[in-house]
Structure 1
Amino acid sequence: MATKNIVVVGAGYAGVAAAKKLSKHFKKDKDVVITLIDKHSYQTYMTELHEVAAGRVEPDAIQYDLQRLFARQKNVDVVTDEVLHVDHDAKTVKTVKTVFTYDYLILAMGGEPNTFNVPGVKENGFTLWSWEDANTIRRHIKDTVEAASNEHDVEKRKAMLTAVVSGAGFTGVEMVGELMEWKERLAKDNKLNVDEFSLYLVEAAPKILGVVTEKEQTKAENYMLKKGIQIIKGNGVANVEKDSIELTDGTVIPTHTLIWTAGVKATSDVEGYGIETARAGRLVANEFMEAKGVKDVYLAGDIVYYEEPEKDNTPVPQIVQSAEQTGHTAAANIIASIEGKEKTKHKGNYQGFMVSIGSRYGVAYLMDKIHLSGFIAMFVKHMVNLLYFLTIGSAFYFVQYIRHEFFFIKDERNIFRGHLSRLGNILWSVPLRVFYGSMWAWEGLKKTFGLFGTTSWFGDEIVLPFEWLKDPTTGASQAVEEVVAKPVFGLSYVYGEEPMMVFSKAPGWFNWIMEIMIPNQDVALFFQKFMTIVELLIGLAIIVGLFTWLANAATIALVISFALSGMFYWVNIWFIPVAFSLMNGSGRALGLDYYVMPWLQKKLSKWWYGDVKSIYETGIQK
């Protein structure tokens, strides 16, 4: 029975960060168990909600299954349940299904949209604060545009093809930027003119993107205006009807789509938890992220209200960086409490702000001094996202992010446009795959049987051209003959020319490595046989399309090795680009990888992560 039970409620950025830190610290302590409770079986990658809502990525691209995130953390119990009440005196957390006892509790349930009681937003508008919200917007827009394509009434049709985003913070700007790109596809699929679409960005404040400098604000605004987005500042939404919105100055915009991104507050789930609240329902914490007036309860993420002394007593911002940092502070101080050490005061360290406007353009303000825009800003944003997966130790979602952001893209919605897209027909690579594999297999056969005057690598002759393997009686390697013709550099074989080797002899450093690997003639003979078998197996694997990526990667390594050994000609350097081209899934077209890879992925996933489910019950089973 564990002597210390730590319960973390909420599996967003803050909850995952806290649970990861606690798990890592106590991984060898069998007396500490961390229970992570969330109403969903997955973490939602909130910074990509707009990409799902506007059709850039598929909905499952931003769902990060908690079992996959914590499968290797044996002291973390993932539970899918909804918290109903917290009893601070009894130190229990009551859920729909059961009651959890805690020694330490972290509340990290996040926030929810703040509509500021604007009439009609809840009834007729759409918020963007959850995976469900993003899917609802996506379906609504597709259905509305499809209906508009069959609408004969010009004014009604125009309203149906008009979308308004209220709130010009990060979420609002990113949302309208995605819609700006998506309208091209929507128009094409529904046989509409893209000029019929109208997009508005409405902001009650006098400027957009208030947390960055005027330089980023101006660049972002100019880019959106250039792309046809109509920006309204200093004039917020006052009322929302089913087919129109009214601004505070009385302006009416006919629209069937109002996306509300104008504010966030602490989730209403914490209202009855008996903890002091501040602005927007956020729970008050001290400098150690302890809930004010409640023992052994810590706060993290968007629900936290803590005024940072180092930042003019402004509350911690409701952004990803702050969520992770408050989660780490809460976890660090629980560790300190358990181990009787001094607690750590929270100190926010915000490296900067980045916002995308569609998939190809963005602005960024980093470290209070670096201004970025365009391609480089978007590239940095992607790198920061990838860094997140490394910090939470998820190689699986690191790879998945690369796949859906760079390779499996549609309509050139990527900073590299369509140049990296893998959504092509790989059937046409089959002839090249069979030819390339046959070439390697034939090379293996020649070396096995000594065909067409070649020396068999299965005989007693040393064919490797290294000095220390020379026959002491002749002073020369048995397989090396003096070439009379002058070698000519070329990337094609021309009659009458002697092709030039990449290296006439191995570089010194490579010689040193090979002498360690192949110190004498007995090892060399074994190595020759082994390499021959490898070439045969690689050739056959490529021909039948089995483990094609790995087989072609091996050919690249072989070519580099042969070249450094002084055994490879420039005219055959095409081996390398061909291998790279065949690594693009070529084995899945008329190849065994079509069957083997999905089966293997399923088996390996089950072995490494266990059973991935929609609901995780209490009790660590890993």
Structure 2
Amino acid sequence: MKEKQTHSITLESTCKITDEICLPDTKLPRVVIVGGGFAGLALVEKLKHKEVQVVLLDKNNFHQFQPLLYQVATSALEPDSIVFPFRKQINGYKNVFFRLAEVEEIQPDSNTILTNKGSVSYDYLVLATGTTTNFFGMDSVAENSLGMKDIRDSLNIRHMMLQNLEQAAITCDDKERDALTNFVIVGGGPAGVEMAGALAEFCKYILPKDYPEYPSSIMNIYLIEAIDELLSTMSDKASSKTLKYLEDLNVKVLLNEAVSNYDGKEVTTISGKTILAKNLIWTAGVKGQFPNGIDEKHIVRGNRIKTDANLKVEGYENIFAIGDIAALISEERPKGHPQVAQAAIQQGKYLGNSILNLINNKPTQPFEYKDKGALATVGKRKAVADLGKFKFAGYFAWLLWSVVHLMAISGFRNRLMVGFNWAVSYFTYEKSNRLIIRNFKPKSLINNTEE
């Protein structure tokens, strides 16, 4: 009893027991960061051990390394290799506190945010909530396909793929078998290209060993892109090399083509083509996601939040946006900065310094993005790289891609796990994680069951 009383006194001395989320009392300015992606964590790193109280809110208790989601989806990596707990990340940061909560509404007039777990007050609010899959209003596609934006999506893709391959071995219906073994990827950006390459190598090296009852040629992979080139944000050389690498892997690339409908069994394109497929992976677009409370006049194309040159949300004095949801529009960048990890990290670091300057009444400089180049891999030992004036492709580009991504992963253990898996795969093409842990059901089937 005595120990319980002591604990209660300690709790009450540091927290207010109300509908607020419990946080230590402080006289320091409170910076609330919503979202623990690349931008949010870069900001945390800048503000650690500073004279501010930092509160990180996220609906997950982990950071996920999104550039390698496709490797989880294709059984090359286990999910715990590319996720890292926030509490482990901030261990030892005395002024940083994590709370597992989903922010639902911002109330700027009272400097308060409402979450599904209670309210939190702030002196400075930073929105770093990232993006979600954009199906561009096509409900049937959203209902029957899978995006690839978080670790759960990757596991759903993995289980869908393995279940359908197993079912293909069972059925005697040739048409059904074709649908189960055909894969359609929509979107020719880095995510779509890397997914197509990984699936093609799965088809080439894994399928013949695991499923000797039918030839690997039965598994067809289609990559559909609405414009006339792949990797449109990279150089023409990168685009043409990528196309060649994919075609060498027998990926059927359809350029100047777009999906108009998908019912779970058949893909229809705007030109009238039809593809029989029970596997559709959508990487064709994203849109910003953030809580209610931001005036609609500050929301621009892609559901992004318009900011000034200091990443401050237009119309607000102490609300900022960074990462994929931030749209810093200028003459040089009429669409804002690219929605990539390096831009998010740079914005997070910049804003950390900027907020400290604001607190100390020092002037702030406008954000300047430094483009460090772009990389994309197309299967093993093949990649493309645009690094300023240097544009190259092939084995060296793949080595560079591997080193850059390996070093960017959070946590030594995770780097070790990924590096070991890559080393094994490099020499054997083996993927040891082909396990169906749980039954995957498409959203359309779940919704029909609920009805």
Q: TM-score, with normalisation over the residues of structure 2?
A: 0.86
SS in 1 for 2:232: coil
Deviations 1:517-570 (A, max 9, x none): xxxxxxxxxxxxxxxxxxxxxxxxxxxxxxxxxxxxxxxxxxxxxxxxxxxxxx
The answer (yes or no) to whether the contact 1:308–1:347 under 8 Å persists in 2 is: no
CA drift of 1:2 comes to: 2.9
Q: Which amino acid aligns with 1:189?
A: D
Alignment of 1:224 onto 2:237: no
CA distance in structure 2 between the partners assigned to 1:33 and 1:43 by the alignment: 20
The answer (yes or no) to whether the contact 1:5–1:103 under 8 Å persists in 2 is: yes
5 Å-filtered alignment, 1:335-374, equals: 335-367=356-388, 369-374=389-394
Q: Which amino acid aligns with 1:332?
A: N
Q: Which amino acid aligns with 1:36?
A: L
Could you say which residue in structure 2 is the equivalent of 1:513?
Answer: none
Deviations 1:29-63 (A, max 9, x none): 3xx21000100000010101101111110111111
SS in 2 for 1:73: coil
CA distance in structure 1 between the partners assigned to 2:333 and 2:306 by the alignment: 17
Could you say which residue in structure 2 is the equivalent of 1:108?
Answer: 128
- Give the direction of change, closer, same or farther, for the CA distance of 1:242–1:386 in structure 2 (3 Å limit): closer
SS in 2 for 1:35: strand
Structure 2 portions without partners, runs of 5+: 1-25, 433-451
CA distance in structure 1 between the partners assigned to 2:200 and 2:255 by the alignment: 19
Q: Which amino acid aligns with 2:384?
A: V
Q: Which amino acid aligns with 1:408?
A: N
Of Structure 1 and Structure 2, the greater helix share is in 1
SS in 2 for 1:342: coil
CA distance in structure 1 between the partners assigned to 2:63 and 2:164 by the alignment: 29
Alignment of 1:185 onto 2:188: no
**How much identity, in percent, do the aligned residues show?**
28
CA drift of 1:326 comes to: 1.7
Could you say which residue in structure 2 is the equivalent of 1:401?
Answer: 415
Could you say which residue in structure 1 is the equivalent of 2:272?
Answer: 250
CA drift of 1:202 comes to: 0.3
Please list every run of at least 4 consecutive aligned residues from structure 1 whose deviation after the TM superposition is greater than 4 angstroms. Answer: none
CA distance in structure 2 between the partners assigned to 1:222 and 1:298 by the alignment: 42
The answer (yes or no) to whether the contact 1:125–1:259 under 8 Å persists in 2 is: yes
Structure 1 portions without partners, runs of 5+: 424-622
Alignment of 1:284 onto 2:309: no
SS in 2 for 1:307: coil
Deviations 1:453-475 (A, max 9, x none): xxxxxxxxxxxxxxxxxxxxxxx
CA drift of 1:266 comes to: 0.3
5 Å-filtered alignment, 1:502-581, equals: none
CA distance in structure 1 between the partners assigned to 2:88 and 2:196 by the alignment: 32
Deviations 1:327-386 (A, max 9, x none): 22222221111011111211111111101112332111112x112222211211122224
CA drift of 1:409 comes to: 4.7
Deviations 1:121-172 (A, max 9, x none): 1111111111111110010000000000111111210111000000001110
Could you say which residue in structure 2 is the equivalent of 1:87?
Answer: 107
SS in 1 for 2:401: helix
Q: Which amino acid aligns with 1:277?
A: I
Q: Of residues 43, 57, 79 in structure 2, which corresponds to 1:18?
A: 43
Could you say which residue in structure 1 is the equivalent of 2:20?
Answer: none
CA drift of 1:280 comes to: 1.2
5 Å-filtered alignment, 1:42-53, equals: 42-53=62-73
Could you say which residue in structure 2 is the equivalent of 1:332?
Answer: 353
Deviations 1:427-482 (A, max 9, x none): xxxxxxxxxxxxxxxxxxxxxxxxxxxxxxxxxxxxxxxxxxxxxxxxxxxxxxxx
Deviations 1:194-252 (A, max 9, x none): 11110000001111110111111111111110110000000111101111100110000
SS in 1 for 2:254: strand
The answer (yes or no) to whether the contact 2:123–2:318 under 8 Å persists in 1 is: yes
CA drift of 1:274 comes to: 2.9
Q: Of residues 178, 181, 199 in structure 2, which corresponds to 1:158?
A: 178
CA distance in structure 1 between the partners assigned to 2:379 and 2:262 by the alignment: 26
CA drift of 1:94 comes to: 1.3
Could you say which residue in structure 2 is the equivalent of 1:128?
Answer: 148
CA distance in structure 2 between the partners assigned to 1:173 and 1:308 by the alignment: 30
Q: Of residues 1, 4, 9 in structure 1, which corresponds to 2:34?
A: 9
The structure whose Rg is larger is 1
Alignment of 1:39 onto 2:39: no
CA distance in structure 1 between the partners assigned to 2:361 and 2:264 by the alignment: 58
Deviations 1:101-123 (A, max 9, x none): 11011100000111111241111
The answer (yes or no) to whether the contact 1:165–1:202 under 8 Å persists in 2 is: yes
The answer (yes or no) to whether the contact 1:237–1:248 under 8 Å persists in 2 is: yes
CA drift of 1:312 comes to: 4.6
The answer (yes or no) to whether the contact 2:104–2:292 under 8 Å persists in 1 is: no
The answer (yes or no) to whether the contact 2:107–2:293 under 8 Å persists in 1 is: no
Q: Alignment RMSD, CA only? A: 1.9
Q: Which amino acid aligns with 1:38?
A: D
Q: Which amino acid aligns with 1:365?
A: D
The answer (yes or no) to whether the contact 1:22–1:34 under 8 Å persists in 2 is: yes
Q: Which amino acid aligns with 1:9?
A: V
The answer (yes or no) to whether the contact 1:92–1:101 under 8 Å persists in 2 is: yes
Deviations 1:242-288 (A, max 9, x none): 11100110000000011010011101x33443361000110010000
Alignment of 1:196 onto 2:221: no
The answer (yes or no) to whether the contact 1:332–1:344 under 8 Å persists in 2 is: no
CA distance in structure 2 between the partners assigned to 1:247 and 1:195 by the alignment: 23
Q: Which amino acid aligns with 1:140?
A: M
CA drift of 1:408 comes to: 3.1
Moved more, 179-188 or 257-266: 179-188
5 Å-filtered alignment, 1:254-333, equals: 254-267=276-289, 269-274=290-295, 276-309=298-331, 311-333=332-354
Q: Which amino acid aligns with 1:340?
A: N
The answer (yes or no) to whether the contact 2:259–2:270 under 8 Å persists in 1 is: yes
The answer (yes or no) to whether the contact 2:179–2:265 under 8 Å persists in 1 is: yes
CA distance in structure 2 between the partners assigned to 1:124 and 1:5 by the alignment: 43
The answer (yes or no) to whether the contact 2:197–2:249 under 8 Å persists in 1 is: no
CA distance in structure 2 between the partners assigned to 1:312 and 1:242 by the alignment: 38
Of Structure 1 and Structure 2, the greater strand share is in 2
CA distance in structure 2 between the partners assigned to 1:308 and 1:326 by the alignment: 16
Could you say which residue in structure 2 is the equivalent of 1:436?
Answer: none
